[in-house]
Amino acid sequence: MRVLDTTKKKRWVSLYVENRIGVLARISGMMSGKSYNIDSITVGTTEDPTISRMTIGLSSDDATFEQIKKQLNRCVEVIKLNDITDASAHMKEILFIKIHDCSEFEKGEIFRIAQVFGSKPIDYGINSVLLENVSTEGRNNDLIALLQKKFDNVEIVRGGIVAIDSISMIDR
């Protein structure tokens, strides 16, 4: 029997790519063309303006993930690939949540929630509040779940995860 373990696991890849038109399409298109599902992808330029860095989050089994990494490395536009699934890294996502139609009392509740979650209220209206939360993906999920349970009219924008390796113990 030549069948592999198919347990899915959350994976993270940090990718250095050429900062050129079409590279995001190349990467995302390759992933979709081979039926690899991306959970989250973020791109931005780096300290070197000719290089962009992507953080890609996905769920897959071991064999598929190996194949994904190989396929990414095959792309001429990919300069370097770091698998940070099990590496020590800082990972954060920016999240905006706008809560509409809230009463004075509810606004107080929102502020208490914000305090506990470390969110920043960054805008305020007669019956609405805008929170900004920079946190891990899981913590953002929790905050969204809570606010959606409590309020009917919640608008959400998520930025996707960005990640960077920790400074190593030796450097510290």
Q: How is residue 136 written in tokens?
A: 């891990």
Shortest separation between residue 66's beta carbon and other proteins, angstroms: 7
| Nearest-angstrom CA–CA distance, 57 and 137 | 11
Q: How far, in whole angstroms, is CA 30 from its chain's centroid?
A: 19
Q: Considering beta carbons, is residue 14 or 140 the nearer one to other proteins?
A: 14
* 3 state SS of 49: coil
Return the number of the residue (1 or 126) whose C-beta is nearest other proteins: 1
* 108: helix, strand or coil: helix
Q: Are 12 and 84 in contact (CB under 8 A)?
A: yes
Alpha carbons 55 and 42: distance in angstroms, whole number: 5
Q: Does 49 bind other proteins (CB under 8 A)?
A: no
Q: Does 74 bind other proteins (CB under 8 A)?
A: yes
Q: Tell me: does residue 24 bind other proteins (CB under 8 A).
A: no
Of 8, 7, 26, 12, nearest in space to 58 by CA: 12
Q: Which stretch binds other proteins (CB under 8 A): 68-76, 94-102, 107-115, 135-143?
A: 68-76
Asked if residue 156 binds other proteins (CB under 8 A), the reply is: no
Rounded CA-CA distance 161/159 in Å is 7
- 18: contact with other proteins by CB under 8 A: yes
78 touching other proteins, by CB under 8 A: yes
Q: Which is nearer to other proteins, 41 or 78 (CB)?
A: 78
Residues 6+ apart with CB under 8 A from 22: none
Binding-site size for other proteins (CB under 8 A) equals: 26
Q: Which stretch binds other proteins (CB under 8 A): 18-26, 105-113, 129-137, 139-147?
A: 18-26
Which residues are near other proteins by CB under 8 A?
1-4, 17-18, 21-22, 25-26, 29-30, 33, 63, 66-67, 70-71, 73-80
